Structures are given as C-alpha cells and as structure tokens.
Amino acid sequence: MKMVIIYHSGYGHTKIVAEHIQKGASTVLEQVSLLSTLEAVENIELLHEADTLVFGCPTYMGSVSAGFKQFMEATGKFWYTQKWKDKLAAGFTNSSTLNGDKLNTLQQLSLFAAQHSMIWISTGILPKFENDQQLVAPNGLASYLGLMTLSDNSIKEINPPKGLETAELFGQRIAQITKIFK
C-alpha cells in the first residue's frame, strides 16, 4: 500500500506539518512518500500508483495557496479519464491566525478530491477537555473535515506550528483506513 503526501509550503510551516503526517502514517504503512507540489507534477506516475493521496497547503487570503492551485490545475490533463477514481484522499492546512478561513481551504481540497472521484477521509479526532477547558491537543482547533494547524509568523525563523501531535494522529488514521480499504 502506498500513500503520497503532496504539499505546498510558502515559508516552511506546512512542510513541517506534512512531515509529521508522514511520521504518523509511517507507523502503520511502509511506503509513505512526501512530495512538494512541484515534485508531484514532475512525478505524476507516483500519484497514479498510490492508494491514498494527502493534499496540504497553507491558507492564504482564505483560500488554497497559488502553488497548490497550480498543482490542482495540472491534474486537469488526466481528470477526464478519472485516474484517481476510488483512491482515498485527505487534506490539511496551516495559517497564522486562529480561524483564518482554513475551513474554506479544506473545502477546496475536498472538492478537488471529489472532482477526481476520490473518497475523502475526515480527521476522526475529537478534541479533549480538562476542567471545562479545551486542550491544545489533540485537535485543539476542532477541525473535522481535515487537519488544521496554527503557526506563529511573528517569529522570524520557522517555528513548529501548533497541532503537530494531531498531525501524527491524523497520519496514523489515514494509514489505518488505507489498510482497511485497500
């Protein structure tokens, strides 16, 4: 079974999230690849051969990043043949604000998967509470359609986004579902 994580990362935060999804998935599956959108376009056959594709990008101005949109549009060359029909799919996004319209980005990613007739995997991770306070992990942003993470862009160097524990759990879930259905 093969999983490929395709990501666009403008400043490095989304790549860190992708690496943590890969780390979680690798505890269940042996073949979990990580490709930037540019690498994915250059190696499209790897995507055709995969059982599961995970899409990720930052949320910029309430939408998928331009780099990820270019990848999406590049798949139009084979969309009409439905090469990805019945593959599993999941998605994730990162932004520097608590809400930042990340849900819109996840909806765009899931719609992209639906246009390719793929089967979408939700997070399946409930947030936890202690003393009536929601914890940061797991799923501290309470996202269910896909993974949302939060980065602090006020710091000059790239720092790890909040939500990496959830990213690993999400990677495990995607891999487990891949084993069940593929």
For the stretch 165-175, pLDDT in tens is: 999 999 999 99
Give residue for tokens 């994915």: 40
Distance between CA atoms of residues 177 and 105, nearest Å: 23
Going by pLDDT thresholds of 50, 70 and 90, the confidence category of residue 156 is low
Supply the mean pLDDT for the chain: 94
Domain count, the chain: 1
As a whole number, mean pLDDT of residues 14-37 equals 98
pLDDT at 155 exceeding the cut of 90? no
Q: Residues 6 or more apart from 75 whose CB is under 8 A from it?
A: 84, 116
Q: What per-residue confidence (pLDDT) applies to 136?
A: 82
* pLDDT over 80 (residue 7): yes
Assign residue 77 the CATH number of its domain. Answer: 3.40.50.360
pLDDT reported for residue 152: 82
Q: Determine the angle formed by the axes of helices 164-181 and 13-25, rounding to 10 degrees.
A: 50
**In the 3-class helix/strand/coil scheme, how is 97-159 assigned residue by residue?**
CCCCCHHHHHHHHHHHHHHCCCEECCCCCCCCEECCEECCCCCCCCCCCCEEEECCCCCCCCC
pLDDT digits (tens, 9 = 90+) for 107-136: 999 999 999 999 999 999 999 888 888 888
Q: Can you give the pLDDT at residue 75?
A: 98
Range of the domain at 33: 2-181
Instruction: Report whether 92 contacts 172 (CB < 8 A).
Output: no
pTM of the predicted model as reported, rounded to 2 decimal places: 0.96
